[in-house]
Amino acid sequence: MGQLRWDKEEAKILLEQAREYSFLYLDQLEEKDAFPNSEAIQTLKCFYEEFPETYNDPSEILRDLHLYGSPATVSSQTGKYYGYVNGGTLAIGIAARWLSDVWDQNAAIYEMSPIAAVLEEVCEKWLTQLLGLPSGTAAGFVSGSSIATLCGLSAGRNQLLKRMNWDIAEKGMFGAPKVRVIVGGEAHGSVFKALRILGFGNKDIEIAPTDDQGRIIPSSLPTLSKNCLIVIQAGNVNTGAFDPIHEICQLAASEGAWVHVDGAFGLWAAASEEKKQLTSGIELADSLTLDAHKTLNAPYDSGIIICKDRKAILNAMQSTGSYLLDSQQRDGMHYTPEMSRRARAVELWAVLKHLGRKGVEDLIEQQCRLAIIVAEGLQSVGFQILNEVVFNQVLVKCNTPENTSLALRYIQQSGECWCSGSRWKGEPVIRISLCSFTVTSTAVERLVQIFDKAYQLAKIQQ
Ligand SMILES: *Cc1c(COP(=O)(O)O)cnc(C)c1O
């Protein structure tokens, strides 16, 4: 212990130990609560210790993670978890990631990792085909949709300014011609965050009115012009609803405006025969955001920025350095804000290769079908269904806001399943997100029983 040296045999022993703990975790997952119980949370106190003065034994460190860390995890890898829009992870994704973690690749440029660069190129092409986007579409591999949206809006802003003869790289944002930003009233918080980072304040943002499902109403869109950056969404986090993408893209195209689609979890609908009409028109959009760690059930963190005009994303993200020589290969850093990055295309490639077109379609359609079963089941035990269940989200409430909050608390404390709360039209609601391949028809039957019990308990307590 304590030597700074690479000992292959010691490394293997540690990896064996990690493997053993991982297997134990998987074996205990079924009995584990959906959310850590209070004892597991209490135990987390043990991590708040002073920074150690000297070396600690790696094997003991892993043991601590196993003993005190594992119980304080949420069980997203079981059919008990319906929170946020958090998917599970397919086994091939975990396994490919284990292997690539040992490879320790930096995906910044081809010369740092030829394998990472090649798999990025393959994933770019596969995703383009899978989603039905124009060939030659560019993709950058980032941590998640928040960063992907930042990249897309940055490319759009710069491109619109360029068309107004303003080179932002040269002249900056201050004193630039006006770029109008139009965002749906139900846009995700990450869109506003990205806009703030890019120099747009709330007063620069025009809000497009939405309907009862949170969809932009095209006839109520502000008048478009060639300096508009329009952000629409494929999949609202509450209702799962899709903006009318085709109609908005056509309106935008006639003015020369830039359309960015936040399709974090919903854009995957394009890969399903049953659901792809929801994404009709995405081929007309300029840039799109997609998460592989949600609907596709790839490991974290895996977001993708997709941009129809390769030059536009390269112009926004390209960086230079005396030691970065011109390359004829794919240098992934020029598509993303980061330089050093983990080789996340490795597990994305593995998941896509494993599933194929058929598997991706099955995965999406399973989530959507179960969402309908959940909605029917919850309605039959008294809940009010607040959304048209078009994708994998179900939004419900009880007869009164108080009962909704009580029922949610019971559900979250039950340990048997976990859903997150939200507010919709000013009222507390419960969101059920079907985003994991581990959720089966048996799991959702169980979910309905727990909700039934929660509804009854909430009524009694009132
Ligand atoms: C999850 C989500 C985001 C944010 O994505 P991250 O991967 O968490 O950064 C953005 N938009 C929508 C619609 C989402 O569901």
- pLDDT tens, position by position, for the chain (462 residues)? 557 899 999 999 999 999 999 999 999 999 999 999 999 999 999 999 999 999 999 999 999 999 999 999 999 988 999 999 998 999 999 999 999 999 999 999 999 999 999 999 999 999 999 999 999 999 999 999 999 999 999 999 999 999 999 999 999 999 999 999 999 999 999 999 999 999 999 999 999 999 999 999 999 999 999 999 999 999 999 999 999 999 999 999 999 999 999 999 999 999 999 999 999 999 999 999 999 999 999 999 999 999 999 999 999 998 776 666 667 899 999 999 999 999 999 999 999 999 999 999 999 999 999 999 999 999 999 999 999 999 999 999 999 999 999 999 999 999 999 999 999 999 999 999 999 999 999 999 999 999 999 999 998 876
What's residue 1's pLDDT?
54
Distance (angstroms) between ligand 1 centre and the Cα of 264 equals 5
How big is the chain, counted in residues?
A: 462
Task: Verify whether ligand 1 is closer than 6 Å to residue 291 (CB atom).
Answer: yes
Task: Please state, in angstroms and rounded to a whole number, the distance separating the CA atoms of residues 308 and 124.
Answer: 12
Task: Please state, in angstroms and rounded to a whole number, the distance separating the CA atoms of residues 222 and 240.
Answer: 24
Q: DSSP alpha helices (H): ranges in 256-344?
A: 310-317
**Candidates 291, 300, 367: which one to mutate for ligand 1, based on the most atoms within 8 Å of Cβ?**
291
Task: Please state, in angstroms and rounded to a whole number, the distance separating the CA atoms of residues 139 and 130.
Answer: 13
Cα–Cα nearest to 432, from 448, 416, 410? 448
Tokens of 243: 């903006």
Distance (angstroms) between ligand 1 centre and the Cα of 146 equals 6
Do residues 207 and 185 make contact, with C-beta atoms less than 8 angstroms apart? yes
Distance (angstroms) between ligand 1 centre and the Cα of 376 equals 27
- Residue nearest to ligand 1 atom 12, measured at CA: 264
Task: Verify whether ligand 1 is closer than 6 Å to residue 194 (CB atom).
Answer: no
Distance (angstroms) between ligand 1 centre and the Cα of 233 equals 11
DSSP secondary structure letters along 152-219: HHHHHHHHHHHHTT--HHHH-STTPPP-EEEEETT--HHHHHHHHHTT--GGGEEEEPB-TTS-B-GG
Distance (angstroms) between ligand 1 centre and the Cα of 260 equals 14
Task: Verify whether ligand 1 is closer than 6 Å to residue 145 (CB atom).
Answer: yes
Distance (angstroms) between ligand 1 centre and the Cα of 147 equals 9
Instruction: Report the side by side order of strands in the sheet with 228-233.
Output: 138-142, 303-307, 287-291, 258-262, 228-233, 180-184, 205-208
The answer for residues whose C-beta is within 8 angstroms of residue 218's C-beta and 6 or more apart is: 244, 247, 248, 251
Do residues 258 and 113 make contact, with C-beta atoms less than 8 angstroms apart? no
Answer whether the bond into residue 211 is a cis peptide, omega within 30°: no
Distance (angstroms) between ligand 1 centre and the Cα of 293 equals 10
Task: Verify whether ligand 1 is closer than 6 Å to residue 266 (CB atom).
Answer: no
Task: Please state, in angstroms and rounded to a whole number, the distance separating the CA atoms of residues 396 and 378.
Answer: 8
Do residues 420 and 76 make contact, with C-beta atoms less than 8 angstroms apart? no
Task: Verify whether ligand 1 is closer than 6 Å to residue 431 (CB atom).
Answer: no
What's residue 3's pLDDT?
73
Cα–Cα nearest to 239, from 364, 366, 391, 80? 391
What's residue 461's pLDDT?
77
Ligand 1 atom with the shortest distance to the CA of 146? 9
End-to-end CA distance of the chain: 60
What's residue 320's pLDDT?
72
